[in-house]
């Protein structure tokens, strides 16, 4: 739970973001998410050239998935560490991250895949009606896209914010073309902090709507 001092610092930070960004193209719920991404990264590009992109059904599907106790399947432990565990416990969501499982490494070597790719394959039974959150590995996002195209999985929403120079921008572009709700961004920027911030922002929208 946030202390009064911590909350005052967060409120002041959010006001700085409002003042520096000014006008923007996002609706109220979208802006609440984008603003939290900027707050978590101190990177105003997420409202500019690396703008966050929303599928028309993304926020509603994401809110419903969390409220219904859907699983949160992530690519790396860095994302796990940044998701609000109090909210996870409250709504009964199960965070799944298989990247450190030795079996993932063995299977990845056997099938000539990255560990991130294989971790998504191994979590396929837990992805349906849940949230996939990619904050690091473009290969994980591309694997999820392939699994959707193969009709192996049907997530409620995919949060695709991989970071890097190889396939990061391209994987996000591919995500924006599939017929599954998504939240992503343009370009190479992204990362665990931005991906987790989107999940935390969805939780905050739920809490605000029920207060």
- State the pLDDT at residue 195: 98
- State the pLDDT at residue 101: 94
> d(Cα 210, Cα 84) in Å, to the nearest integer?
18
Active-site annotation, residues: 39
Domains present along the chain, CATH in parentheses:
53-210 (3.40.50.10230)
- State the pLDDT at residue 1: 60
Measured between alpha carbons, how far is residue 169 from residues 26, 52, 125, 155 in Å?
21, 12, 27, 21
Mean pLDDT, 10 residues at a time, the chain of 211 residues: 74 92 93 97 92 97 98 97 96 96 94 95 95 97 97 97 97 96 97 98 94 66
Sign of CA dihedral 180, 185, 186, 189: negative
């Amino acid at each position: 739970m946030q202390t009064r001092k911590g909350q005052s610092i967060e409120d002041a930070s959010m006001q700085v973001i409002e003042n520096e960004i000014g006008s923007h193209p996002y609706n109220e719920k979208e802006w609440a998410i984008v603003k939290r991404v900027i707050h978590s990264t101190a990177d105003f590009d997420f409202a500019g050239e690396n703008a966050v992109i929303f599928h028309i059904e993304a926020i509603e599907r994401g809110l419903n998935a969390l409220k219904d106790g859907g699983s949160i399947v992530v690519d790396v432990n860095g994302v796990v560490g940044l998701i609000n565990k109090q909210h996870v416990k409250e709504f009964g969501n199960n965070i799944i991250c298989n990247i450190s499982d030795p079996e993932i490494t063995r299977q990845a070597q056997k099938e000539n895949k990255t560990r991130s790719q294989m971790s998504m394959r191994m979590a396929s039974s837990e992805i349906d009606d849940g949230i996939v959150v990619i904050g690091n590995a473009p290969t994980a996002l591309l694997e999820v896209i392939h699994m959707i195209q193969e009709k192996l999985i049907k997530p409620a929403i995919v949060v695709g914010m991989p970071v890097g120079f190889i396939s990061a921008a391209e994987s996000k572009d591919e995500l924006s073309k599939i017929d599954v709700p998504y939240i992503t961004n343009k370009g190479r920027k992204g990362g665990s902090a931005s991906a987790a911030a989107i999940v935390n922002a969805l939780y905050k929208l739920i809490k605000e709507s029920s207060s």
